[in-house]
């Protein structure tokens, strides 16, 4: 057991029980099948592509963008496609604009998404959310999965709110503020707490992350039986 999960288990019996049932999920595991390589820009692009659609659909659209740009997408490559070709890859009008806004911000130096390590969590979130199309949830999950920050809690995430309701036997779905209040005792390991709560939403033998489940389905379709 990692020090983070050991500490959480000592502080909160719910986490001790969940660790017994689910083990210790890695909050920093990023399931994309190697699609984004080491590019933080490409990783955020995949976040934008995947907003409000299934993971399988997100991978399909992202793969078309990669093919159109000739490899892992770069700011110049995305800008070169333009709105019409991004739409042809399957992005909506709004998300085409968001992808171009991210590429423009990185290309012009408005943001340096490849080098956010020197910024604290709140400053990094502020920088990311200043880009059109990147909301708080996308920024928070990016900090967890891509910047490996140990103490970030996407309190507004519906899955986390449902997990808190279920695991603490609450009568109603807690608000983001209520989740943040409960999580005050989880500092400085809230990213680990989030990973465990997400994991609790699926049976122990089933992948919890929707992108991981999508990759499994894609592998099964590519290499059946």
Residue 42, burial from CB neighbour count under 10 angstroms (0-12, 13-18, 19+): buried
Which pLDDT score, from 0 to 100, does residue 216 have?
54
Confidence (pTM): 0.87
Which pLDDT score, from 0 to 100, does residue 224 have?
44
Beta-strand ranges (E) seen in the chain are none
The reply to whether 40-135 and 150-225 are identical in fold is no
Return d(Cα 195, Cα 190) in angstroms, integer.
9
Domain 150-225 listed as CATH 1.10.1670.40 = yes
Which pLDDT score, from 0 to 100, does residue 131 have?
96
Return d(Cα 133, Cα 48) in angstroms, integer.
7
Which pLDDT score, from 0 to 100, does residue 213 have?
55
Return d(Cα 225, Cα 220) in angstroms, integer.
7
Q: Which residues of the chain have pLDDT under 70?
A: 205-225
Return d(Cα 20, Cα 14) in angstroms, integer.
10
The full set of domain ranges for the chain reads: 40-135, 150-225
Extract the tokens encoding 117: 């390590």
Q: Give alpha helix (H) positions in 135-206.
A: 136-145, 158-167, 176-182, 190-199
Give the CATH superfamily of 40-135: Hypothetical protein; domain 2 (1.10.340.30)
Q: How far is CA 22 from CA 25, 39, 69, 136, 193, in A?
A: 8, 31, 40, 28, 13
Beta-carbon contacts of 13 under 8 Å, excluding residues fewer than 6 positions away, are none
How far does Cα 87 stand from its chain's mean position? 23
Beta-carbon contacts of 188 under 8 Å, excluding residues fewer than 6 positions away, are 150, 151
């Amino acid at each position: 057991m990692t020090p983070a999960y050991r500490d959480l288990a000592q502080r909160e019996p719910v986490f001790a029980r969940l660790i017994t049932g689910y083990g210790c999920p890695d909050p920093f595991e990023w399931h994309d099948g190697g699609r984004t390589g080491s590019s933080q820009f490409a990783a955020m692009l995949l976040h934008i592509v995947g907003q409000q659609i299934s993971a399988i659909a997100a991978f399909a659209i992202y793969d078309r963008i990669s093919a159109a740009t000739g490899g892992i997408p770069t700011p110049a490559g995305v800008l070169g496609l333009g709105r019409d070709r991004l739409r042809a890859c399957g992005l909506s009008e709004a998300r085409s604009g968001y992808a171009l806004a991210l590429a423009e911000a990185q290309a012009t130096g408005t943001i340096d998404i490849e080098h956010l390590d020197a910024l604290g969590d709140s400053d990094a979130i502020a920088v990311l959310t200043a880009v059109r199309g990147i909301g708080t949830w996308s920024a928070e999950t990016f900090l967890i999965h891509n910047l490996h920050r140990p103490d970030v809690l996407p309190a507004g995430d519906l899955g986390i709110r449902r997990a808190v309701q279920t695991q603490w036997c609450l009568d109603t779905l807690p608000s983001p503020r209520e989740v943040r209040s409960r999580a005050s005792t989880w500092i400085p390991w809230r990213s680990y707490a989030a990973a465990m709560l997400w994991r609790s939403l699926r049976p122990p033998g089933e992948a919890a992350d929707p992108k991981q489940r999508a990759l499994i389905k894609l592998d099964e379709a590519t290499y059946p039986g």
